[in-house]
Structure 1
Amino acid sequence: MKSIDFFKRRFVRWGQIFVSCLMLSFGTSLYAASSQNLAGYILHVEMTPAVCALDSSRQKQRKCLEGYSLTISSLLPEVPVNRNCETKSSATLSPLQSTVVARVMPNETERVQLWQNVGGCVPMNASQYFRTIINFAERLKIPTDLTSQNTITVQKESLRQQFTKLNPSLPANGIRFSCQSSRSDSILTEIRVCYHKNGQYKQCASHVVTGCPSEFTIKGSY
């Protein structure tokens, strides 16, 4: 079974040397600081072709126009319900880091808004937070079914097994799938991956629900 590096968009291939340089530049370890009542993180991976096809208001966004296969919409801290996570701290990144983060989060306005919404609940500054996102994305191996130019139908459990085979430390309950109905189909729109505070995979909590039936469609090129 083949996998694909998250950083490889459709029609774009990154060299191993470039990826290695990124890891040397941004590091591979998470910061050791802790935050009270922080249970972990949830990475939200967006199925870009599906989102672009289903939401006409997004079709002129860069990720749609340039043919991204996958993008990251957020890395959310798991904190008690109703906790205010807003921050007024700066979301400014260095030019190099901004360029790298744009590979998986191309909309700068959305990145800034994300940080302002969650920065108050993470034990790091904006640079460290987006570095963590890059580290998570680089480590997560993606089944080729998710980046194919063809629209295909898959079984939920089969896709789950592909993920756990490619990512041996990811538990079966460490991933959730979200779908949106379109005519008679359920189309995969998002994948959620759950992490401990230290960045290791973990089982998702009960509040992280699966919104897909046993069989659904993966949208290909758009």
Structure 2
Amino acid sequence: MKNAVLSSLNKSSGVWIVICIGFLLFSVRVHAAPARPQGYVMQIQLTPAVCALDNSKQKQRKCLEGYSLTISGLLPETTQKDCTTSSSATLSPLQSKVVARVMPDPNSRTQLWQSVGGCVPMNASQYFRTMINLAEKLKIPADLTSSESKTVYHSQLKSQFIKLNPSLPANGISFSCQAARSNSILTEIQVCYKVNGQYTQCSNHIVSNCPTSFSIKGAY
């Protein structure tokens, strides 16, 4: 009888060990795989405005070298709360040179990847290649890269974007402004994409805060 009980316990223990191992492996797979994003939002900074309004950024390369536009992020639209990653953000010298055209500060690139890499189904090289591909396809109105500061109408600037990018829906782009004295200055543009890179309407939480008319600070 004793041997029968021991045998039964050993068999039960073996079953539970197999179940526990299987559960642990399943948990590892679940936690290792990031949630696939529903889309992406590309954030484009109006660099002269950002550099003029934020003293902490004035010593960054994008300010010192007079960039007119830079990309601050390609953010995944996801329900996953923690998007951080410890995976490498290192790019090849050639790719680093290409990415520097739109995101010149290496530290900014590293910080961006570490903050969003856990929510995208790609490595850093693929992520930044995606960013460059989207940036190259987006046509930019001349008013945003002019050396002259000017005042524009919200509807006018949006119409220019749609005319240059016919597949871009009217609600697929949003503008962010910052108040400066009695004026509002355009500081950022958000463009929304499907996961396949096609333009799409932005989510409800992406809302323009710019007034009817606002200023664009000229490139320097």
Question: Same fold by TM (over 0.5)?
Answer: yes
Structure with max Cα Rg = 2
Within a 5 Å distance, the mapping from 1:172-191 to structure 2 comes to: 172-191=170-189
Contact 2:154/2:211, CA 8 A, preserved across alignment:
yes
Per the alignment, residue 63 of structure 1 pairs with 62
Cα distance in 2 for partners of 1:105, 1:119 equals 17
Whole-angstrom distance in 2 between the partners of 1:76 and 1:157: 25
Give 1:198's aligned residue: 196
- Moved segments of 4+, more than 2 Å: 34-37
Deviations 1:27-84 (A, max 9, x none): xxxxxxx96352100000000000011112211211111110000000000011x611
User: Given the two structures, how large is their TM-score scaled by the length of structure 2?
Assistant: 0.83
TM-score by length of 1: 0.82
Q: How does 1:1-222 map to 2 (within 5 A)?
A: 36-80=35-79, 83-222=81-220
CA-CA distance at 1:160 after TM superposition: 0.2
Q: How has the CA–CA distance of structure 1 residues 35 and 199 changed in structure 2, closer, same or farther, with 3 Å as cutoff? A: farther
Q: Secondary structure of the residue that 1:72 maps to in structure 2? A: strand
1:141 aligned counterpart, secondary structure:
coil
Looking at structure 2, the residues matched to 212 and 169 of structure 1 have their Cα atoms a distance apart, in angstroms, of 23
- Distance (Å, rounded) in 1 between the aligned partners of 2:207 and 2:97: 33
Task: Name the structure with the higher helix share.
Answer: 2
3-state secondary structure, aligned to 1:38: coil
* Paired residue secondary structure (2:140): strand
Shift of 1:122: 0.4
| Higher RCO (C-alpha 8 Å, min separation 6) | 1
Alpha carbons of 1:37 and 1:124: their partners in 2 closer, same or farther (altered >3 Å)? closer
Identity %: 68
Q: Deviations over 1:100-121 (max 9, x none)?
A: 1011001101100110110010
C-alpha distance in 1 between matches for 2:99 and 2:78: 24
Structure 2 runs not aligned, ≥5 long: 1-32
- Partner amino acid for 2:177? C
